[in-house]
Structure 1
Amino acid sequence: MARDEGTRPWVLEKFDPSWNEGGLLEASSFSTPFRKDREVLREYLQEVWPTVKRALKKFGVSCELNLEEGSMAVSTTRKTRDPCIVVKARDLTRLLARSVPAPQALKLLSDDDIGCDIIKIGNLIRNRKRFSMRRDRILGPNMSTLQAIEDFTGCYILVQGSTVSAMGSFRGLEQVRKIVEACIKNKKNPLSHIQELRTEREYALMMES
């Protein structure tokens, strides 16, 4: 870390491979399952896997797509230098398994300011009809509410089945989780959260001027 004399007390420096020229002492690997019965997802993963493989290879991470078992595996190699990259690779596969487009998911590898959060909402309410109605509130008419949440949190958001996948700053991800869980639990409407975020932004702009 380096000292920043500006607004932040500390700034996380981008990893430099020269910091760990000897590589890792032990191998680490992760496996992510996906629904192999979803033909569209299977075909998409097969199509984009060469791109994913090339991107991971640049960071010294190997990967394997098993269409028969329905899994994606990532592992460090002797060429791996960044000890955190395999965790990013794991999160990459978790996003792909939930239908996040590869160009979007791959941003995790190169940008240290971007994180991800997969919010499981299916177990927050048992009644399926109420669950569907409250999930639709997150989307809004013609996806307008979801677009507003993305705009005010600075996050990419994908609502898919019983999960909500988000990518963005850690502050933004915290806001997204708060909005989503409050909506599904029927504690607060997303529009109320959006209004609060709008007010916060306007106040911040006023203080800067």
Structure 2
Amino acid sequence: MPSTYDKDKPWDTEDIDKWTVKPFKREDNVAGHFTDESSFSCLFPKYREQYLKGAWPIVKSACSKHGIEAFLDLIEGSMTVKTTRKTYDPAAILNARDLIKLLARSVPAPQALKIFEDEVACDVIKIRSLVGNKERFVKRRQRLLGPNGSTLKALELLTECYILVQGNTVCTMGGYKGLKSLRRIVEDTMANIHPIYALKELMIRKELANNPELKDESWDRFLPNFKKRSLAKRRVPHKVTDKTKKVYTPFPPPQAKSKVDLQIESGEFFLSKQAKERRTREDRDEKMKEKMEAKKHERLEAYVAPVEESEKKKKKRKRESGESKGEEKKKSKQEDGEGKEKKKKKRKSDVADEDD
């Protein structure tokens, strides 16, 4: 039998937009109220108590518009939402559940109430379990925020979603497409991939989406291809293990001595409390003395006298200086003799003139 799935339907006309999400109104619920009551509750931290107490009237009135009843228990520290006989939208209780979850995660009430809109969804991403080390986790979470929150702001603008990084979670609100890309970016950041690469890709995609000519073409040639750098070319590994063959022994290695065992061996374990304190004090004083002496030596280095020359070098210098002095004396003597001879010649010429 030939397939008939691609035949034209009489009700499928061109003026119908299949992608528009129509709002669910009270008139659409023909069956009436629900047979069973559904409820959700969520705990909130102590520091959110004052804020929720002030913002609860707004939350309660917004829930009542959709036929949802909301309760705030300050003694137990919990929020509860449940359906009533006035509830007409089956998805309203799920939106109310997401609302109390967002309020508990420090999302402001005006922003959290947007969850009741049809085109807005939320996603709470748990990031603490993605990184084992606490210091590394804090660094990567800060990388997601960026300097003065610039990276977070750029992500909000490009994905058109609201993002809040609070504690061990990241709360996001917006369209489904933006939430999907945000979850990928957050998980990649926690896996040590910088968010700047994702930002560059999002910017290019946004530019290409505005171009109607490239709507039906592949965007692979425009998107950047960041090559992953591997450490395969490193010649010497960081941890060099000893691969020499050792003699096989069926016995396990000796157990490492504990702190108490080492204290028993040194005799420190049997000392009294006062003796231990005295010993620690003495050790501290010795370390202080060593540091003080080292600093004293550093200060005195500036006042150390220059190294004197040896006697041989001194004699050499004297000889050199003596030879130079003798040469100077000879030159001066020669100059004096020449001057005397000139004077004698002058006198003789003067005497001869007088005789004439």
The correspondence for 1:51, drawn from 36, 50, 58, is 58
Q: What does residue 168 of structure 2 align with? A: 162
Note the C-alpha offset of 1:34.
1.2
Task: State the secondary structure of the residue aligned to 2:130.
Answer: coil
Note the C-alpha offset of 1:127.
0.5
Note the C-alpha offset of 1:202.
1.1
Name the structure with the higher helix share.
Answer: 2
Note the C-alpha offset of 1:174.
0.4
Q: 1:145-197: CA deviations, max 9, x gaps?
A: 000000110000000000000000000000110100110121x2111000000
Q: What does residue 77 of structure 1 align with? A: 84
| Kept in 2: contact 1:64–1:74 (CA 8 A) | yes
Matches within 5 A, 1:1-209: 5=14, 9-21=18-30, 22-36=32-46, 38=47, 41-109=48-116, 111-186=117-192, 188-207=193-212
In structure 1, the gaps of 5 or more residues are none
2: CA distance between counterparts of 1:4 and 1:108? 33
Q: 1:36-80: CA deviations, max 9, x gaps?
A: 3x2xx1100000001100110111100101111111000000000
Task: State the secondary structure of the residue aligned to 1:11.
Answer: coil
TM-score, normalization by structure 1: 0.92
Q: 1:98-153: CA deviations, max 9, x gaps?
A: 010000000111x1000000000011111010000000011000100000000110
Q: Alignment RMSD, CA only?
A: 2.0
| Kept in 2: contact 1:64–1:72 (CA 8 A) | yes
2: CA distance between counterparts of 1:129 and 1:12? 45
User: How many residue pairs get matched?
Assistant: 203
| Kept in 2: contact 1:4–1:11 (CA 8 A) | no
Task: State the secondary structure of the residue aligned to 1:83.
Answer: coil
TM-score, normalization by structure 2: 0.55
Do the aligned partners of residues 98 and 4 (structure 1) sit closer, same or farther apart at CA in structure 2, a change above 3 Å counting?
farther
Note the C-alpha offset of 1:208.
5.8
Superposed structure 1 runs of 4+ greater than 4 Å apart: 2-6
Note the C-alpha offset of 1:12.
2.4
Q: What does residue 263 of structure 2 align with? A: none
Task: Give the partner amino acid of 1:53.
Answer: K
Task: State the secondary structure of the residue aligned to 1:23.
Answer: coil
Name the structure with the higher strand share.
Answer: 1
1: CA distance between counterparts of 2:139 and 2:12? 48
2: CA distance between counterparts of 1:45 and 1:23? 30
Task: State the secondary structure of the residue aligned to 1:106.
Answer: helix
Note the C-alpha offset of 1:10.
3.0
2: CA distance between counterparts of 1:99 and 1:32? 13
In structure 2, the gaps of 5 or more residues are 1-10, 215-356
Q: What does residue 300 of structure 2 align with? A: none
2: CA distance between counterparts of 1:179 and 1:102? 26
Task: State the secondary structure of the residue aligned to 1:27.
Answer: coil
Whose Rg is larger?
A: 2
Do the aligned partners of residues 205 and 59 (structure 1) sit closer, same or farther apart at CA in structure 2, a change above 3 Å counting?
same
1: CA distance between counterparts of 2:144 and 2:14? 39
Do the aligned partners of residues 82 and 152 (structure 1) sit closer, same or farther apart at CA in structure 2, a change above 3 Å counting?
same
